[in-house]
Structure 1
Amino acid sequence: MAAASRFPRLLFLAFCLTFLPLSVNDGTAAAARPADSVVTVAARVPADSRTADSLGTERRGGGVVIDQGGLVLTIGYLIMEAIEVTVADSGGGPVPAEIVAYDHDTGFGLLRALRPLRSTAARLGSADRLVAGQRAVAAAPGISGQTLVVGRRSFAGGWEYLLEEALFTTPPIPNFGGAGLFDAEGRLVGIGSLIVGDAAGDGVGPPGNMFVPIDLLPPILSDLLAFGKSTTPASPWIGLYPEPANGALVVARVSPGGPAAAAGIRPGDVILGIGDQPVRRMEALWRGVRALGPAGVEVPLKILSGGAVRDVTVKSRDRRGWLRLDRTY
């Protein structure tokens, strides 16, 4: 369906959903609801952490209990590099939790509550069954409500993040970080990551949220529980943050001590291509880098810097080695 004809229908449905009453989870309902599986996640991160400047030292969001032993699935940026994490269900105070795992490729994080929770473990579903126009329930700490599935498509983030099929919903919900997306049968199908200005991806809106599909969890869950990470070879990390501008990718910042900084790439440089292959979109950049091989591979970039074009070879590495995670696990 063309974007021009799809947008009015989505906007009308989003408008209707905006005025559906949201239900605050007060913990009094006898039957299990999606919100009964949702907990509050609070994390404290040292000021010298790599992500402290961009993500803060006090982080708060949501998570979803996925087993009876207090295993909580959340979005990884809430707990990345944290030294103290607590979870709280709707009717209780904060419970200490240990960080079980963090996975950059999916964006998932796992916690284990160290004392029993009164939350109900969510059943896992599949995002593959969702189609545009279906209603779902988005549940964040203390609040839940209906939302509309806009569709599934790839998503690229400036922090070297690429999902081949992310979930997009509208209208946007507050407290989206670590929120749960549930299908009509109450099964967990996604974990909230971002708020986006254009959920339909056609340049005209409406705004909404991006969720990481739950389907990405089962293939790596045993690794996450056993080792705190996936055993799949790590994707190459080059340590730069591009932003699209006028049809080009401009380096907004580089990671201190990262590969791009070591190679002499600076903010303001323009990424023209990978080798002789031009790239203008972030998805193409990250796909091209990953296609070269696992972490450690050399990445040949063509850079426009100071009015001159130059070839730069960046020696990639595993991002986990740059993050200060050792004190976490």
Structure 2
Amino acid sequence: MTEKPRRDEWKATRPGFDTARALRSIVTVQSSIPEDAFTAKTLGEQRTGSGVVIGENGLVLTIGYLVTEAETVWLARADGRVIHAHALGIDSESGFGLVQALEPLDCPALELGRSDLARLGDSILVAAGGGTKPVQAEIVGKQEFAGYWEYYLDEAIFTAPAHPFWGGAGAIGADGRLIGIGSLHVEQSPERGGPRDVNMIVPIGLLPPILDDLLTYGRVNKPARPWLGVYSAQNEGEIVVAAVSEPGPAANAGLRRGDILASVCGDEVTDLGDFYRKVWDLGEAGVEVPIEIIRDGRALGVKIRSADRAAFLKRPRLQ
């Protein structure tokens, strides 16, 4: 059996991986969002994170929440030069966002890797912009992820130690190729030892099937999933409403903080991911979603007319 190299041997054991060149592909992403935008209160009017150059023409891949409803976008190279850019496309299902530099970026493009081939224990480099140091990490999990904002991945990548500036950071595999984009900083409870901080990485394998649509239409060219506008959390086996979007379908139907989501179409909800799947299986955005809730110990039936999340958002504007 071949002994696994230590982390301090990470660079030396991977010939051909030009780390300095790869880090030049990482840029800072800054965006400004109008104060009346739908996401301004939850995500802020000024957002900063990172992105990865994936096209020689200045195409940058980032995490979508950094540029959702962006009025202006700037990219900053490793040497500090700032370039105007445009939010080109956003996919709420994967969480990816595309940004196009409007001036020559002159940064090398990082080749896309195979996130499906990544394995637990693999060494990776998590790199962010702004002159921050990259973090040498390893993959500590590949499993489903359900986010409170009606977001679900069949198999997200989790890495440790966590990078403190995770939003839009590039996760680079041992072959120097991009295997994912940083999305979150979460706490993981492994079978052994106490809780630890990890990064949730969106796998790059989700990009190729949707890339042409994002470049052409700014979104994936298919019917939108039904969106309820509810923020939910799992607590002791129950799915509890933490908040509702105002305005939004759930708010219009009378859902409120503290309601327990018990079933969809009479089928009991087992966890947050199960709740999302049951809603999305009903059809396209606009479909009516019958939900049973528990409020103050009483069961109530609620019918929510779902919507297309994108209809509530300001569209990217070319500068």
- What's the TM-score, normalizing by structure 1? 0.88
Aligned CA distance change for structure 1 residues 31 and 150 (closer, same or farther; 3 Å): closer
**Matched residue type, 2:119:** V
Q: How does 1:142-221 map to 2 (within 5 A)?
A: 142=131, 143-198=133-188, 200=190, 204-221=194-211
Gaps of 5+ in 2: 12-17
Match of 1:39, SS state, is strand
Distance (Å, rounded) in 2 between the aligned partners of 1:112 and 1:82:
13
Whether contact under 8 Å (1:22, 1:145) holds in the other structure is: no
Gaps of 5+ in 1: 1-12, 24-29
More divergent stretch after superposition (251-260 vs 319-328): 319-328
Look up the equivalent residue of 1:144 and give its one-letter code. P
Question: Displacement, 1:267?
Answer: 1.1
Aligned to 1:282: 272
**Aligned partner of 2:108: which letter?**
T
- Does 1:38 pair with 2:26? yes
Tell me the amino acid that sits aligned with residue 100 of structure 1: L
Query: What displacement does 1:56 show?
Result: 1.0
What is the match of residue 134 of structure 1?
A: 122
The SS at the match of 2:211 is helix
Distance 1:199 1:75 in 2: 25
Matches within 5 A, 1:218-233: 218-233=208-223
Deviation sequence 1:184-215 (CA, Å, 0-9, x none): 11000100000111075899533210000001
- Indicate the SS of the match to 1:223: helix
Percent identity between matched residues is 44
Looking at structure 2, the residues matched to 322 and 292 of structure 1 have their Cα atoms a distance apart, in angstroms, of 21
Q: Is residue 97–residue 112 contact of structure 1 (8 Å, CA) maintained in 2?
A: yes
The reply to whether residue 97 of structure 1 matches residue 85 of structure 2 is yes
Alignment partners' CA distance in 1, 2:179 and 2:202: 8
Moved more, 130-139 or 319-328: 319-328
Alignment correspondent of 1:317: 307
Q: In the alignment, is the contact (CA less than 8 A) between 1:302 and 1:311 conserved in 2?
A: yes
TM-score with structure 2 setting the length: 0.91
- Code of the residue aligned with 1:275 in structure 2: it is C
1:184 aligned partner, one-letter code: A
- Flag as ranges the 4+ runs of structure 1 deviating above 4 A: 20-23, 199-204, 326-329
Give yes or no for contact 1:150–1:199 (8 Å, CA) kept in 2.
Answer: no
| CA drift at 1:325 | 2.4
Q: Secondary structure at the match of 1:34?
A: helix
For 1:4, the equivalent position in structure 2 comes to none
For the residues of structure 1 that align with 2:305 and 2:192, how far apart are their CA atoms? 36
How big is the alpha-carbon RMSD for the aligned residues of Structure 1 and Structure 2?
A: 2.3
Alignment partner, residue 120 of structure 1: 108
Rounded Cα–Cα distance in structure 1 between residues aligned with 2:28 and 2:9: 22
How far is 1:166 from its partner? 0.6
Q: Is contact 1:173–1:209 with CA below 8 Å preserved after alignment?
A: yes
Distance 2:70 2:296 in 1: 38
> What is the distance in 1 between the residues matched to 2:177 and 2:140?
18
- The DSSP-based 3-state class of the residue aligned with 2:50 is strand
Inter-partner Cα distance in structure 2 for 1:294 and 1:212? 24
Measure the CA separation in 2 of the matches of 1:67 and 1:326: 20
By how many angstroms is 1:326 displaced?
6.0
> How many Å separate the matches in 2 of 1:38 and 1:127?
19
Letter matched to residue 94 of structure 2: T
Give the corresponding residue for 1:72: 60
**1:264–1:199: structure 2 CA closer, same or farther, 3 Å change rule?**
same
Equivalent residues of 1:140, 1:174 under 8 A apart: no
CA 1:239 to 1:126, structure 2 compared with 1: closer, same or farther past 3 Å?
A: same
Structure 1: how far apart are the matches of 2:172 and 2:292? 43
Q: Specify the alignment match of 1:27 in structure 2.
A: none
- Describe the shift of the 1:328–1:48 C-alpha distance in structure 2 as closer, same or farther (beyond 3 A): farther
Amino acid paired to 2:308: D
CA–CA separation in structure 2 for the residues paired with 1:154 and 1:31: 30
Amino acid at match of 2:247: G
